[in-house]
């Protein structure tokens, strides 16, 4: 039985100074880096995702001049821009697989992404016999939620590491965590995570 760690969208546009900055985003990047120092060897694969939107067009209706912040958003994480890069506080040296999502279309779950050579996250989990998935990243109430729900749907045991996530708003983040728990996810702090 092997484990995977998901690091969802810890990017400049989703941390404090970004186009869709989330309060606590930089701190989450730093805490994930610290967690990796002591826990990286527990995981068969460590998958980091990035929103990677096209510079041209509205990315399938994802970008809007007057966004509703539910289905439409201001431009963010445009491929080739600083906003699309990982937050500098996140050390990606232990990441085994990088996936990009949202290329020309809306995408919230990292399962909607693929590596540069076209391998999907579902394929990575199957190829590595992954049973357990720990989820970290940004934002609790959007892409973390969608990624964790998809992992459950793919038959994995999911644990959301609650001190290694940051959300857009407290109410929607609390609702997302309640939804995930109801769907079968375990909510745990990284310090209480069992090793092995």
Catalytic residue positions, numbered: 9, 101, 143
In the β-sheet with 157-166, what is the strand arrangement from edge to edge? Answer: 97-101, 45-51, 2-8, 130-138, 157-166, 186-188
d(CA 166, CA 139): 5
Q: What contacts 24+ positions apart, CB below 8 Å, involve 177-182?
A: 177/140, 179/145, 179/149, 180/145, 180/148, 180/149, 180/152
Q: Give 97's DSSP letter.
A: E
Residues 185 and 161 sit within 8 Å (Cβ to Cβ): no
């Amino acid at each position: 039985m092997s484990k995977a760690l998901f690091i969802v969208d810890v990017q400049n546009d989703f941390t404090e100074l970004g186009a869709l900055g989330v309060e606590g985003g930089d701190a989450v990047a730093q805490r994930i880096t610290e967690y990796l120092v002591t826990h990286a060897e527990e995981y068969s694969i460590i998958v980091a995702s990035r929103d990677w939107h096209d510079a041209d067009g509205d990315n399938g209706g994802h970008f809007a001049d007057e966004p509703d912040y539910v289905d439409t958003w201001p431009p963010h994480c445009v491929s080739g821009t600083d906003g699309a890069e990982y937050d500098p506080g996140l050390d990606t040296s232990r990441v085994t697989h990088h996936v990009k999502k949202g290329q020309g279309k809306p995408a919230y779950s990292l399962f909607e992404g693929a590596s540069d050579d076209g391998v999907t996250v579902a394929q990575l989990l199957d190829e590595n016999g992954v049973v357990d998935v720990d989820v970290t990243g940004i934002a609790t109430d959007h892409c973390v939620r969608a990624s964790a729900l998809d992992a459950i749907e793919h038959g994995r045991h999911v644990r959301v590491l609650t001190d290694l996530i940051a959300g857009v708003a407290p109410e929607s983040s609390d609702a997302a965590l309640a939804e995930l728990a109801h769907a079968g996810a375990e909510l745990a702090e990284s310090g209480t995570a069992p090793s092995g």
